Amino acid sequence: MEQLSLDFYEEQEKLATTPSRTAFIDESGSFGFDFEKEGTDRYYVVCAVVLRTSNLESVEKSFDAICCKNGFADTEMKSSNIGKKDSRRIKLLTEILPLDFSAILLIADKKAFVESSPLTDYKESFVKYLHEKLYDIMYAVYPKLAICEDSFGSSVFQIGYHKYVEKNRPRRNLLNEYDFCFVDSKASRLVQLADFIAGTVAAELEEKSKTKYLQILGGKITICSRFPNIGAPYFADPTKQVTEYNKAIFELSSQTAQGFIESNSKSEDLVTRLKVATLRHLLFVVQNIDAKKYVTANELIRLLSEYKGGKITPNFFYRKIIASLRDDSLIIASCPKGYKIPISHHDIIDYTNSTVGIVGPMLSRLGRCRSLILGCTDGELDILDDQAFLSYKKFFD
């Protein structure tokens, strides 16, 4: 019989105290790759709407009321039924945003996949990578999650995703249950919410609408993952005339962040998961919301508290997340406005000024202390003579 370690029991205890979540998944787009053919979408968007299981009934009731109020009392509220009616879509979004849910988005650029892939069987490879990508980002945030399946039938993507999860999910817990599982459900309004969000994002990406829906949804999106990974933010197009953008700085910063995410996305350590979540959100903001935007510490703390299922203090956030990421050689710009993935020399100057503003006065006070003690001991006692402080002594000398 396998002997269970103390770490295993501690991990089970951590999972047991994680607030229970339920997800509803739907997607927008098709698997076709003939882009010359009319009606072939370039983008495939998957949306997972995630709620606290204890809030399911109340949120679904509120969403149903919104649907009925907007002409969907006796029919599904599908994004395709709204089409190009931007004013109606914006009105629905305005009413939906106050609901207590979060969203995980997986945006796949099929054209970029084909252009960068040496594989000949695009559809099979494409779907396989999407299953892997969606599983990684969902499990990284919610290791204890129930996914509702429509008992009246699911899409080809969701059927394949179910099989992928069954094959790759973690071992059973002490109650002989899986912590990342599927549950049967009757047709749910909340699946329609996932459909609406996926279709709304697709409308912007496919340029069927000029409305910045991703920006409107920004506060509800915990993760927005791109596949294949994009190398530069949307504003890097030379026609955009953005003079501050520095390709070398952005690529270094974003690639090291992406590398950390890929290396640690399956970590069982809670702090590592929180660091991954922080980087995912900062990348989402710089790539999709506003490349110049700083994300406030309060916003990141709120996000990480949601992941953890408990309050995170500012001190924990700075020491265990931001400082630790920088110790891992991640480049995160900061200033009094918050944190961001740097895109320019100006962002790095912001970070340097912020650091010097803290460290400079501290070094100045240390220098005065050293001078006073040197003076009163006739130069016999230098508080920086210790081997550990030689690098600082060089600074003052």
Same domain for 23 and 155, yes or no, is yes
**Residue 381, in any domain of the structure:** yes
What CATH number is attached to the domain comprising 293? Answer: 1.10.10
* Mean of all residue pLDDT scores within the chain: 80
What's the mean pLDDT in 291-296?
87
> Which one, of 223, 317, 320, 343, lies nearest residue 277 by Cα?
223
Give the separation between CA 50 and CA 337, rounded to whole angstroms: 29
Domain shared by 185 and 70, yes or no: yes
pLDDT of 275 strictly over 90:
yes
Relative to beta strand 180-185, strand 102-109 is unpaired
User: What's the pLDDT band for 1 if we cut at 50, 70, 90?
Assistant: very low
Cα gap 11→143, rounded to integer Å: 11
Q: For residues 119 and 189, state if they share a domain.
A: yes
Last residue of a domain, one of 228, 244, 276: 228
Instruction: Count structural domains, the chain.
Output: 3
The answer to whether position 178 is within a domain reads yes
The answer to the question of residue 120 being in a domain is: yes
Q: Are residues 290 and 378 in the same domain?
A: no
Are 195 and 162 contacting, i.e. CB atoms less than 8 angstroms apart? Answer: no
**Same domain, yes or no: 185 and 80:** yes
Shared domain for 195 and 284, answered yes or no, is: no
Residue with the two structure tokens 């740097």? 342
Residues 221, 321: one domain?
no
> Which domain, by its residues, includes 385?
345-396
Q: Is 7 inside a domain boundary?
A: no
Predicted confidence at residue 369, as pLDDT, reads 80
* Tokens, residue 104: 């995980």
The answer on 146 and 117 residing in a single domain is yes
208 plus 62 within the same structural domain: yes
How does residue 375 score in pLDDT terms, banded at 50, 70 and 90? confident
Whether residue 41 lies inside any domain: the answer is yes
Which residue among 228, 250, 266 closes a domain? 228
Residue 102 within a domain: yes
Inform me whether the pLDDT recorded for 193 exceeds 90. Answer: yes
Residue 9: predicted pLDDT = 44
Candidate ranges 174-183, 239-248, 334-343, 352-361; pick with highest mean pLDDT: 334-343
Q: What is the pLDDT of residues 101-144, one digit of tens each?
A: 999 999 988 888 777 665 556 777 788 888 888 888 887 777 77
pLDDT of residue 46: 92
Beta carbons within 8 Å of 253's beta carbon, 6+ residues apart = 331, 332, 341, 342, 343
Same domain (yes/no): 279, 289: yes
Is residue 152 located within the same domain as residue 275? Answer: no
Residues 329, 256 contacting (CB under 8 angstroms): yes
The predicted pLDDT at position 121 comes to 64
Higher per-residue confidence, 155 vs 206: 206
pLDDT digits (tens, 9 = 90+) for 7-45: 544 554 544 444 478 889 888 988 888 888 887 889 999
CB-CB contact of 325 with 332 (8 Å): yes
What average pLDDT does the segment 144-159 reach?
A: 74
Q: Is residue 237 domain-shared with residue 140, that is, in the same domain?
A: no
Q: What digits encode the pLDDT tens for the residues 314-345? A: 999 999 999 999 999 999 998 889 999 999 88
Query: pLDDT value at position 19?
Result: 47
CATH of the domain at 81: 3.30.420.10
**Spatial contact of 335 and 350, defined as CB atoms under 8 Å apart:** yes
User: Is 272 inside any structural domain?
Assistant: yes
Among 228, 250, 267, the domain boundary falls at 228
Residue 144 lies in a domain: yes
State the pLDDT at residue 4: 47
Specify whether the CB–CB gap between 355 and 335 falls below 8 A: no
